[in-house]
Amino acid sequence: MARRPLPRILSSGTASITRGREIARTAADSATDVLHPLITVIRGLRLLAVAGRQNWVATPKERRGPKLFLVAACLLAAALVPFGPILALVTVMGAAAWKGRERTPVRTGPDESESARLRSLYEALVPYFSAADDPEPLFAHGGDWTKTFDGYAFDRDGRLTRLRISYPAYFTDGEAAARSRIEQLLHTKSGRGREYRFDWDEEANRLDVTVLDALPTTIAAQRFVTAPGETVLGFTDPDAVSRTVPVRDGDATADASPVLWRTGGRSTEPHLLAVGQPGGGTTTLVRSIALQALQGGDVIVIDGSGTGEYAAFTGRDGVLAVESGPGGALATLEWAAHETERRLITANRARQSGHPVPDDIRRPLWILLDRPGVLGHLAAADGRPDPQELLRVPLRHGRAAQVTVVVAEQFDAVDTLTETVLSHTRARAVLGPASCEQVAALLGAEPRTTPPAEVPPGRGYVRLGTGPVLRLQVPATPDPYDDATSDAHRQAVLDLLPGRHTPAEAEAAWTADEEGPITERTPVAVEAAPRQGDVLPVEAMTDGAGASGPLAKAQPAGAES
């Protein structure tokens, strides 16, 4: 059977039809562009008419008369006013154009890719939030994820930034192991490389997952707005604390959320222990605390590492000593123990006699000990006692004597810390890369956030006593004598350091009667070279007339100068 040929209009006119359709489409688009204002006004008039009708229907019958009279009065006034009708027409057209404008449609739910991500996360949680004998399970394979995910938010890349999960009441949310499994699963499925915070509401059976922003690392050392007895350890999340302080961040000024550590007679955590990995920022934290302590107190720095990290403090006003050798450290800590006892006795006598406590007793004394494990090893090799044993009196009675102890150590030497140091340092900080187990072992509680993918120097966690575990970013406080330090950070630290003793002052302080013994003179801190090699000698301390007693009497036999 022969095939019948197609009609001529279909066989030879395809190109003409296509060209005609393109011409018609172009003409329609051009007409739409030309008539777009008219279409917008007509759409607006229609919407205004619908809104007016709905308003009229919603008006009670007893109020329709006064409303109609008001409308008629407005129309009469517009008709009587010169150019009133034209102004009224322009007003109505303007309102119609505004009402009929094209608006961006508001999203009322997730798109296809976001729904697929939520569905996948729901299916992954089924084995953990379901039970075989549950008659109406919230989590079941192939179930409805909208019943369990109450709220969610996505970023521009389509990744989750906030999620609220409703889980069944029989889930063991009181067990740390069960919560850890859920947190690890959500961290893996929601995207690595970000920090997540998990807020468990056991009473309402809800879990809030939030992606945290990175803490600022550009805030350098500076004068912080704090009350007496407050020290800024670093900065944390805005919703973690209820206070902000103004800070300089580069050339701009912003409000940051500080982690404030309160010391003094009414402090519940009078001493601090900072532990971290090499390069984690423990020395930076100690240096930042020293700069703040020098604003109204005296500082003793003991550098166990002996790398010259605190050379910039040598010979400064308020810095009583900078020691790095075991002999000098032992003599300095022994003097600090005697100074603590002297402060206690003097304060007790003043209170018993009804007199105010002397000013030198109220002046804070800070003992900053970095890497005590190294000093303990060197002291043991020389047959000397561990310097940490001399911290027993300042740690136990330092709060009443205005003496604060800060100890910094690395993870590999935590076992060298004595029981006295561990039991009296209730303010703890963990800096640098650390697992959740290490953080929990030192702080006494696990953090509510996942470990960061990249840990900058000075980044970690802090816990003050029995408070919550907070994220922490220490202000950038590098060694100003380090060649790798930027000029801005170097200048920021140098601006905070107090002035050095002039040679004239040092010579006058060492001048005394030639007939008197050397121990009766008035020694002060002398000028030192800007490197750690020329450390402040132990004898170069203030006399009993100042904030500290005669150090020469506290030196053991054979102590290093």
Nearest to 259 by CA among 250, 247, 249: 247
SS (H, E, C) 438-457: HHHHHHCCCCCECCCCCCCC
Residue 506 placed within a domain: no
The per-residue pLDDT for 530 is 37
266 in the same domain as 192: no
353, 559 contact by CB (below 8 A): no
The per-residue pLDDT for 533 is 36
d(CA 68, CA 1): 80
Can you tell me the mean pLDDT for 43-72?
85
Residue 46 placed within a domain: yes
Residue 96 placed within a domain: yes
The single-letter code of the amino acid at 368 is: L
270 in the same domain as 312: yes
Can you tell me the mean pLDDT for 278-295?
95
In this prediction, residue 1 has a pLDDT band, given cuts at 50, 70 and 90, of: low
Is the pLDDT assigned to residue 29 strictly greater than 80? no
320 in the same domain as 257: yes
Is the pLDDT assigned to residue 42 strictly greater than 80? yes
Is the pLDDT assigned to residue 509 strictly greater than 60? no
What is the CATH number for 413?
3.40.50.300
Is the pLDDT assigned to residue 204 strictly greater than 70? yes
Select the more confidently predicted residue: 67 or 281.
281
246, 222 contact by CB (below 8 A): no
160 in the same domain as 307: no
The per-residue pLDDT for 44 is 83
d(CA 149, CA 307): 54
Across the chain, mean pLDDT equals: 83
41 in the same domain as 135: no
SS (H, E, C) 500-524: ECCHHHHHHHHCCCCCCCHHHCCCC
Can you tell me the mean pLDDT for 436-462?
90
d(CA 185, CA 200): 15
269 in the same domain as 135: no
Is the pLDDT assigned to residue 459 strictly greater than 60? yes
The per-residue pLDDT for 348 is 93
* Domain range for 131: 112-211
93 in the same domain as 150: no
> Six-digit token pair at 232?
């800024």
d(CA 336, CA 395): 11
User: For 346-385, how does the pLDDT look when each residue is reduced to its tens digit (9 = 90+)?
Assistant: 999 999 999 999 999 999 999 999 999 999 999 998 889 9
Looking at 156, 183, 211, which one is the last position of a domain? 211
Judged by average pLDDT, the poorest of 110-124, 420-434, 461-475 is 110-124
Residue 514 placed within a domain: no
CA 189 to chain centre: 25
Residue 237 placed within a domain: yes
199 in the same domain as 80: no
The pairing of beta strand 206-212 with beta strand 160-166: antiparallel
Nearest to 71 by CA among 56, 93, 90, 54: 56
User: For 147-185, how does the pLDDT look when each residue is reduced to its tens digit (9 = 90+)?
Assistant: 899 889 888 888 889 999 999 999 999 898 899 999 999
d(CA 344, CA 549): 13
Can you tell me the mean pLDDT for 439-461?
90
Residue 427 placed within a domain: yes
Helices (H), 257-382: 282-293, 326-353, 359-362, 372-381
CB atoms within 10 A of CB 451: 14
How many structural domains does the chain have? 3
Is the pLDDT assigned to residue 235 strictly greater than 90? yes
120 in the same domain as 97: no
Distances in Å between the Cα of 176 and the Cα atoms of 121, 172, 202, 449 are 21, 9, 12, 14
Report the DSSP beta bridge partners of residue 406: 272, 368
Instruction: Give the residue carrying structure tokens 């468990």.
Output: 200
Report the DSSP beta bridge partners of residue 300: 321, 367
The per-residue pLDDT for 47 is 84
d(CA 75, CA 61): 22
Looking at 470, 495, 520, which one is the last position of a domain? 495
Is the pLDDT assigned to residue 391 strictly greater than 90? yes
212, 471 contact by CB (below 8 A): yes
Looking at 495, 515, 542, which one is the last position of a domain? 495
Judged by average pLDDT, the poorest of 80-89, 343-352, 501-510 is 501-510
What stretch of H or E contains 151? Answer: strand 149-154
The per-residue pLDDT for 503 is 54
d(CA 196, CA 513): 68
SS3 assignment, position 90: helix
375 in the same domain as 295: yes
The per-residue pLDDT for 543 is 38
- Burial class of residue 71 (count of CB atoms within 10 Å of its CB; 0-12, 13-18, 19+): exposed
User: For 519-545, how does the pLDDT look when each residue is reduced to its tens digit (9 = 90+)?
Assistant: 333 333 333 333 333 433 433 443 333
SS3 assignment, position 102: coil
The single-letter code of the amino acid at 164 is: R
Cβ-proximal residues to 468 (8 Å cutoff; 6+ apart), any chain: 240, 445, 448
d(CA 430, CA 470): 10
Residue 303 placed within a domain: yes
Instruction: Give the residue carrying structure tokens 């039809």.
Output: 17
425 in the same domain as 302: yes
Judged by average pLDDT, the poorest of 2-6, 425-429, 495-499 is 2-6
SS3 assignment, position 101: coil
The per-residue pLDDT for 14 is 59
In this prediction, residue 557 has a pLDDT band, given cuts at 50, 70 and 90, of: very low
Residue 501 placed within a domain: no
Judged by average pLDDT, the poorest of 86-90, 220-224, 383-387, 516-520 is 516-520
Instruction: Give the residue carrying structure tokens 């893996």.
Output: 188
165 in the same domain as 43: no
The pairing of beta strand 403-410 with beta strand 365-370: parallel
312, 497 contact by CB (below 8 A): yes
Q: In percent, how much of the chain has pLDDT > 90?
A: 52
